[in-house]
Amino acid sequence: MKILDSLAPEDGDSHFRAGAMLAEHQLYAAAARQFGLARPTSKDPYLAGYNQTLAYLNAADYAAAIRTANELLNQGHETAELADVAATAYLKSGQAQEAYNAFRLAAHLDPRNEEAYVELCEMSLDHDDYDRGLQIAEIGLRHLPGSERLYLQRGIMRAMKGQFDEGEKDFAKASELAPQEVLPAVSLGLIAMQKGNLDKAVATLRHAAGQHPESYVAQYWFAEALLRAGAASGTIRRDEALAALKQSVRLNPNFWHARADLGKLLLDRDEVDAAISELQKAASLNPSSTGPLYLLAQAYRRKGDESRAQELIAEVSKRQAEGRESLAQGRPRQLAREGKAAVPASQGQQH
């Protein structure tokens, strides 16, 4: 979301113009103050207030953004765009239920608000509430039957419920509606993997990686499909997997999954120092994962550093024991959302 880029109201409000200028230079806290000063005398107090809310949001002052949005809503300015901003502020401040309610309000005020439905689906996914997410996606599709993003969301919910055939149809429809998007194509490959059709998964993800060479997610899952299909050492497929993982790491150096898999392949090729480098980075990017540490232990053992290898094995055992204890105590499961590709958000209305 961004500050609305209209001209100042007709009365030439100096505070509004100052706020717009400050926002243009990304001085959002100062811009919010100016928009606030403009509200009492502006011919369009809603416009000034909405820009104030957005400025607070961009300044990461979420409490002020929520307060300002609620002031406007209580004054009768019930618009979907304002509810969207309020929901985003709630979400960023960790108030999930309030964010959910605000996104529902946005969808109610504008039944064709795609962003609200997508956000509601993603929140349902975060809480493992696939039935609710499926219901939201279906409501959204009744209003937006051409939404690739909502077909994608419905497919995800169906896949999480084990409804792979239905999910595959949704992903295919999303890909048909937006062939330029990477997520539907990758999702089709993942469904094929879930159904055990590895040849189809490889073919689908090979196409996705070729069509989207800039997508670290497509490169990673293409490599993963090749490896799961049995890309043995010394084969062309193994070389393809290695190249795809290197490309994934280049595109997103912070994606630890690709670094861990790359480290494992390098270790298999006896490129021990290069493997250690990748595995150390993977471990630092996700300290809670024991996989990279276990592979690091193997790498140090191969270098003859048995002491360091034993230290890492002990750390792996400790973390695994802690994990079993946590499970026994019934602590909530933390869902990993790494590798989630960004879906372009709607720009919203501009004034």
160-216, pLDDT tens digit by residue?
Answer: 999 999 999 999 999 999 999 999 999 999 999 999 999 999 999 999 999 999 999
Total structural domains in the chain? 4
DSSP state of 43: S
Q: How much is the pLDDT for 321?
A: 79
CATH number of the domain that residue 260 is part of: 1.25.40.10
Is pLDDT of 255 > 50? yes
Domain termination site, one of 106, 121, 148: 106
Residue 137 forms part of a structural domain: yes
Mean pLDDT of the chain: 89
Helices (H), ranges, 39-163: 45-58, 62-74, 80-92, 96-109, 114-126, 130-143, 148-160
- In the chain, what is the straight-line distance between the N-terminal and C-terminal CA atoms, in Å? 13
Closest to 82 in 3D by CA, of 121, 108, 120, 43: 108
Check whether residue 126 and residue 171 sit in a common domain.
yes
Q: How much is the pLDDT for 334?
A: 30
Residues 6+ apart with CB under 8 A from 346: 114, 115
pTM beyond 0.85: the answer is: no
Residue 240 forms part of a structural domain: yes
Check whether residue 93 and residue 167 sit in a common domain.
no
Check whether residue 151 and residue 93 sit in a common domain.
no
Compute how many other C-beta atoms are within 10 angstroms of the C-beta atom of residue 319. Answer: 15
Residue corresponding to tokens 């607070």: 56
Residue corresponding to tokens 């909502």: 150
Domain range for 282 is 253-321
Residue 235 forms part of a structural domain: yes
Check whether residue 6 and residue 102 sit in a common domain.
yes
Closest to 106 in 3D by CA, of 73, 133, 128, 129: 73
Check whether residue 145 and residue 45 sit in a common domain.
no
Check whether residue 96 and residue 33 sit in a common domain.
yes
Closest to 87 in 3D by CA, of 101, 70, 76, 75: 101
Check whether residue 37 and residue 87 sit in a common domain.
yes
